[in-house]
Structure 1
Amino acid sequence: MELGSEIHIDMYDNRMEVYSPGGMFDGRLIQQLNPMTVPSKRRNPLLADFFHRLKLMERRGSGMKKIIGEYKRFENLENYHAPEFSSNASEFHVTMWNLNYAMDVIKNNPHVVKAPEDVVKDVVKETGDVVKAKANVTKEFVKAQRQIYKLISQTPQINAMQMSENMGISIRQVQRYLKQLSDLKLIVREGGRKNGIWKILDEEYEGFFKRI
């Protein structure tokens, strides 16, 4: 856990994302493991036991198994998406999908007979480039955006290879995210590839990780 950090819960129409500072206890990546068989380990057994006695938490965690178990009840739904877990050395992410989302889109628009993805395309076409840019923001992009902002805030001169190692993804994926952020004018590289630095242009996020 980093000093001054905090948990974030982001709510969207089609999903809920939970961000928690601090990676896996043993340094492994949850996306490379089976969440159903990951053993529960406590960083502070005394504190966990104390809160368990106050009935504020379990003595041993079982959150991932409960989440997966609840979702499996609906795995026969056409729009089923299993919950997703990912982590790196300093962060842990959980994405829980709204399985009613596609049905709600149609229900709230009785005259719409198109598939949900076609509806989104039409909305983008009618509302212009701003909405088009936002529509391109996927769940993976949002996670990568937060991670990249944090890495740039900590080390402006960081390169794609170092980002790849910190984020636990391929350098090709990192380069794709950097291009997307650059194209959206959210970040910019100043100076050369070797001696240059990254700068965050996104007013909403600039300095964000320094404030929390």
Structure 2
Amino acid sequence: MMVLLFKILIHNVSSSRRNPVLADLFARIDLMERRGSGLRKIIEAYELEEKYKIELKPEFRSTESAFFTVLKNLNYEGQSEGKNEGKNEGQKLKPKDRQERIIHIMKDTKNITALELSKLLFVSVSTIERDLKKLTDENMIEYVGSAKDGYWRVNK
């Protein structure tokens, strides 16, 4: 099944109710000012904020069956500095130390994924997969169950 994702240019979108049930409910309890003004109001409210920058502009995307709004945090500072710092810290760990941390994390969170581990330890998914293979080969850990519902068992 192919899902098309459209990035919405808000000023070119005709006003239409995307969820008639919610629209009617909000209208009945007087929580809707006027129909079809919400997306423009979101953009206008963002543009009035003191910390607003063009790269923080709200994004609207749509598929055939869903509508997505991305509201970026206007109060978040130091994005690039924090990312680099974390990456460097994670890469300073020696493989053995990183594998010990993986085991420690798995004791608390048995159903953790390689992607989640990579984000926690600031390394690539392939690095985590190599560590998991080594730990599995050494019988330190084992994966029990299906790919969807399984979990990690620590044998150490």
| Coarse TM-score class (shorter-chain normalised) | 0.3 to 0.5
More helix by share: 2
TM-score between the two structures when normalised by the length of structure 2: 0.46
TM-score in terms of structure 1 length: 0.36
Larger Rg: 2
